[in-house]
């Protein structure tokens, strides 16, 4: 019988990635449910100072609110020329949470005078699992690349259209879902945490 696991996000792009990656790792072993199944669940304020703090807070509060194990992530784009920003503020970099077009436009504007050789960046994903009994596990991974000068591609979400992965000639938004999952920060973090998800859920009473 599958183990129930809550994906603690309302971001549809993240939901799709979580589902694809976890199902590929443990097919049929986990019954993935989203926050739509818990319409009264609280909105978690991401006021941590790191990806780890935010991811663990989201997973913990959702597990406590719903009574089932929850997995959450906090991800962001870290640009060298911007001192690591937008970082944990990536989803609201332009002022309004989740406005992908405005966020990417702001980053491009900030880097307008930055030469190509100095447009190095990476995505970070912190993935956290939290069980109602208080046990937890955390993994973090990076996705290295460069910032393009204009958006290219229509796949993915967030900053994907302006991010060219290291060693590739196309943007993340030009990749198929399978191609991106194989090398992305979220794919790496979820593949790292998946064995712990299975172990902790099997031992959960």
Are the C-beta atoms of 104 and 60 separated by less than 8 Å?
A: no
| Distance of alpha carbon 136 from alpha carbon 95, whole angstroms | 32
CA distances (Å), 8 to each of 20, 41, 56, 138, in order? 15, 10, 11, 14
Cα dihedral 12→204→57→128 (10° resolution): -60
Contact yes or no for 85/96 (Cβ under 8 A):
no
80 is annotated as an active-site residue? no
Catalytic residue among 74, 80, 160, 181: 74
Q: How far apart are CA 63 and CA 38, in angstroms?
A: 11
8 A C-beta contact, residue 119 and residue 147: yes
Q: How far apart are CA 102 and CA 126, in angstroms?
A: 24
Which residues, including other chains, have CB under 8 Å from residue 69's CB and lie 6 or more apart?
A: 3, 4, 5, 6, 63, 129, 130, 131, 132, 197, 200, 201, 204
Active site residues: 74
């Amino acid at each position: 019988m599958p183990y129930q696991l809550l994906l603690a996000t309302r971001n549809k792009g993240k939901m799709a990635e979580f589902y694809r990656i976890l199902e590929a790792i443990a097919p049929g072993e986990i019954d993935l449910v989203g926050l739509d199944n818990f319409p009264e669940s609280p909105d978690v304020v991401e006021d941590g100072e790191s990806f780890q703090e935010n991811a663990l807070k989201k997973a913990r509060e959702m597990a406590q609110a719903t009574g089932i194990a929850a997995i959450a992530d906090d991800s962001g784009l870290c640009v060298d020329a911007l001192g690591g920003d937008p970082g944990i503020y990536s989803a609201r970099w332009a002022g309004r949470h989740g406005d992908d077009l405005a966020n990417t436009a702001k980053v491009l504007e900030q880097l307008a005078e930055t030469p190509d050789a100095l447009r190095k960046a990476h995505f970070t994903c912190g993935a956290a699992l939290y069980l109602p009994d208080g046990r937890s596990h955390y993994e973090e991974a990076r996705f290295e690349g460069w910032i393009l000068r204009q958006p290219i591609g229509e796949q993915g979400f967030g900053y994907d259209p302006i991010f060219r992965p290291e060693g590739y000639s196309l943007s993340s938004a030009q990749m198929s879902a399978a191609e991106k999952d194989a090398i992305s920060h979220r794919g790496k973090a979820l593949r790292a945490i998946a064995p712990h998800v299975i172990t902790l859920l099997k031992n959960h009473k």
